[in-house]
Amino acid sequence: MNKRLFVAGLPFSTTEDELKNLFAGIGNVVSATIITDRMTGRSKGFGFVEMETEEEAGNAISKLNDTDFGGRKIIVNEAKPMEERKPRPYGEFGGQRKSFGGRREGGRGSFGRDGGRDSGRTGGFRGGRH
């Protein structure tokens, strides 16, 4: 059965091929994935490697954990199952939904039934009475 490993501390310039080659020296690599930021596409400095057997995964942990790779000390552990996250309200950033624009206090605003003429309120389209 395949064994998934978590690899942290990777240089941001590391490619998936480089990660795969690092672990291929120890055993058969099924897959190697580097996690990237959705917005920028830049590496987050960690990834996952799937080894063919548990024995190969154990060897990879013992040989590569706390070693230097590309000038950085990497951490190699057994990957834990991903925890289910609570959905965030109102999109990715959470918090309350805010309205930008919309109606002004008191009703119609500048472009009401009067066809855009200022209705006598200050702060209207024309800036007050003329």
Give the CATH number of the domain where residue 32 resides: 3.30.70.330
pLDDT of amino acid 86? 81
Cβ atoms of 11 and 19 within 8 Å: the answer is no
**Contact criterion met (CB below 8 Å) for 5 and 77:** yes
Could you state, in chain order, the average pLDDT of each consecutive group of 10 residues for the chain (130 residues)? 92 96 95 95 96 95 96 95 76 55 53 52 55
Q: Is residue 27 part of a domain?
A: yes
Domains identified in the chain, total number: 1
Residue 19 lies in a domain: yes
For the chain, the three-class secondary structure string (H helix, E strand, C coil) is CCEEEEEECCCCCCCHHHHHHHHHCCCCEEEEEEEECCCCCCEEEEEEEEECCHHHHHHHHHHHCCEEECCEEEEEEECCCCCCCCCCCCCCCCCCCCCCCCCECCECCCCCCCCCCCCCCCCCCCCCCC
Please indicate, yes or no, if residue 57 is contained in any of the structural domains.
Answer: yes
30 is a domain residue: yes
Please give the single-letter amino acid code of residue 63.
K
Q: Identify whether 103 is part of a domain.
A: no
Residue 38 lies in a domain: yes
pLDDT, position 68? 96
CA–CA separation, 78 vs 56, rounded Å? 12
In a domain, 46, yes or no: yes
Domain that holds residue 53: 3-78
Does a structural domain hold residue 118?
A: no
